[in-house]
Amino acid sequence: MDTLDTWMKRHLEGERGVSLSEFSTCVQGYSLLMDYPQASAVASIFAQHAVRFGNRLQVLPWDAFGNLFKGPDDTWGTISMTALVKEGSWNRWKSLEPTAEYYGLYMTFKNFLEDGFAVLPVESSTPDVEAYAIGKGDSVRVMLVNLSENPQVVQIDRASTEGIVAEVGQGDLVRTEVDVFGADQFKWVGTQVDAYPYPKMGPSGRRINPSKSKDITVPAFGLAVVQINPRVVGLDKATKANAAKPQILAAALEKKVLLVGDSLDLFVTAVQQDGQLTNGMVTIDNWGKRGLYMAAIEPDDGKWNASIESFHVKVAIPEDLYNAPRTIRVAVGGLGGKVGVIDIPFRVRGAYRTTKAMQNFDNGIDAVDWYPVANGDNATAIDAKVFNGAPPHGGFIRHEFLIEQPPAQGWPNFAGAYYVVPPEVKKSVGIVFDYATNHNNPDGYFEVQIASSQVEDYDEFMVRLKNTHGNWVRDTLIWENMKQEGWGKTIPQLDPTKIKNFSWRARYSGKGYISLDNIYLLGEDGEEVPMPKGLRRLR
């Protein structure tokens, strides 16, 4: 970037705009892209360009819309600011949730950069910490990126009105806010294609008192933005009315459907622009014998004193709670007496039980209400044969398929077995079924698609299944937990009264089979119709 800047000054008249397009840390997916080091890395790239061309810069992060890619280390990563939500969880962003990359760019653009500020010279006393600085008058913002695997303790001094030193020194005793992002704020679980972010928090702010300690701890491979004497609105009576209303930047529930004895697991990040959050409260109505649940919130560092705060709330479900939809209300207060509120839905459910055998394949192929769908005007096909068996499991059906890939088709072709559903599905909460699959293409996979009249653009609710290589597996699908593939109009939740059919589908060119047995509807009340036991294994 220094070379580009020098050449432009040497060979071009006047200042030119500089566009940084589709930037990220690499072009292949790998597991670290799903974790907090990616936040620090993209923030560093962004800041490197901003301090050189900030008055004429356009940037476009590489955002691959939540897709996952297999990397050279056989792990998976996402080059994206969003990822698809984990099955069964709830997120304020609906079908998507923010990745670490999003928070790195958020901290750079919202917490570090500021209109009207000029770039300041900055020195770091250790090569393990990158430092960037901008300032205006007596206000300074410094971004610190930890390039090492150990936490780094840094002290920032304004060496002069034009320079910053990130080392030990005296400095000024002024209002200072430190916003931090690292392992304590964000964590991914797993490195494979089904990895997901345990929905922790975004950046976490704290004020420091320079008269007591000026130590700023930057997490390992983490990021910190230090605001010295930041603009604060609402701190006094004169500006109280102009204070911004606190906003909920991100919120997530680990599970949106719970049993008595479970715990609500909620993570929230809230902000008050140019302000300071001062308090928080959660309330839940109709909470068993106690009537109203109410509890104060503590941010992750235990103090409400920054413009951005993150917190974790855990609430046990009491034994005397009956099954019903409920709402947890989160209220966050800030300067000027302003309050931001979000209502988050969840449901306490009853114990699931099998209520109807939709199909157990014990009465031959003529008793099975299904039809084939083979996409593509070629040899792609799927059929069905029932194999009789002895008690307790009885017969099962096998759908053998052959899939050819149309040359001009950019997405993996499919063949599917579509099942007509009984009226009882409208009162069900899900299904349980046994299956065994095999596909001779290593890239081949399987899915269950639940077609619904709610969906009008083919973005149906679906779940990907394992290639079990012929081994039988028992699986459970809960309607409330299912999600769409993610490229169409988002439907908040699958409604069982709108289900049209079930389909088990194979994807990618090749051949193999899908075997099915014991498809049972699930309910939360009514008489149980037992499934055959002793089967195979539970997933």
Quote the DSSP letter at residue 71: -
Using alpha carbons only, what angle is made at residue 418 by residues 412 and 424, rounded to the nearest 5 degrees? 135
Quote the longest CA-to-CA distance of the chain.
87
- pTM of structure: 0.79
Residue 316, classified by CB atoms within 10 Å of its CB into exposed (0-12), middle (13-18) or buried (19+), is: exposed
Fold of the domain built from segment(s) 2-228: Jelly Rolls (2.60.120)
Domain boundaries, the chain: 2-228, 244-348, 353-523
Residue 78, classified by CB atoms within 10 Å of its CB into exposed (0-12), middle (13-18) or buried (19+), is: buried
Question: Which pairing describes strands 277-284 and 152-154: parallel, antiparallel, or unpaired?
Answer: unpaired
Integer CA distances (angstroms), 291 to 285, 286, 321, in order: 7, 5, 10
Structure confidence at residue 539 (pLDDT): 36
Residue 314, classified by CB atoms within 10 Å of its CB into exposed (0-12), middle (13-18) or buried (19+), is: exposed
3-state secondary structure 236-253: CCCCHHHCCCCEEEEEEE
Structure confidence at residue 184 (pLDDT): 93
Fold of the domain built from segment(s) 353-523: Jelly Rolls (2.60.120)
Structure confidence at residue 322 (pLDDT): 87
Helix extents (H) in 237-312: none
CB within 8 Å of 161: residues ≥ 6 apart: none
pLDDT tens-place values along the chain, 539 residues long? 889 989 999 999 988 999 998 898 887 777 888 889 999 999 999 999 999 999 999 999 888 765 666 666 667 777 788 887 887 899 999 878 898 999 999 999 999 999 999 999 999 989 999 999 999 988 999 999 999 999 999 988 765 444 555 543 334 457 899 999 999 999 888 877 777 788 889 999 999 887 777 899 999 999 999 999 998 999 999 999 999 999 999 999 999 999 888 999 999 999 999 999 999 999 999 998 889 999 999 999 999 999 999 999 999 999 888 888 999 999 999 999 999 999 999 999 888 899 999 999 998 999 999 999 999 889 999 999 999 876 556 899 999 999 999 999 989 999 999 999 999 999 999 999 999 999 999 999 999 999 999 999 999 999 988 789 999 989 999 998 888 887 788 888 899 999 999 999 999 999 999 999 999 999 988 889 998 875 544 33
As a whole number of angstroms, the distance between CA 276 and CA 279 comes to 10
Do the domains at 244-348 and 353-523 have one common CATH topology?
no
As a whole number of angstroms, the distance between CA 47 and CA 100 comes to 16
DSSP notation for 357-402: EEE---S-GGG--EEEEE-SSSS-EE--EEE---TTT--EEEEEEE
Using alpha carbons only, what angle is made at residue 289 by residues 288 and 293, rounded to the nearest 5 degrees? 65
Helix, strand or coil, per DSSP, at residue 163: strand
Fold of the domain built from segment(s) 244-348: Immunoglobulin-like (2.60.40)
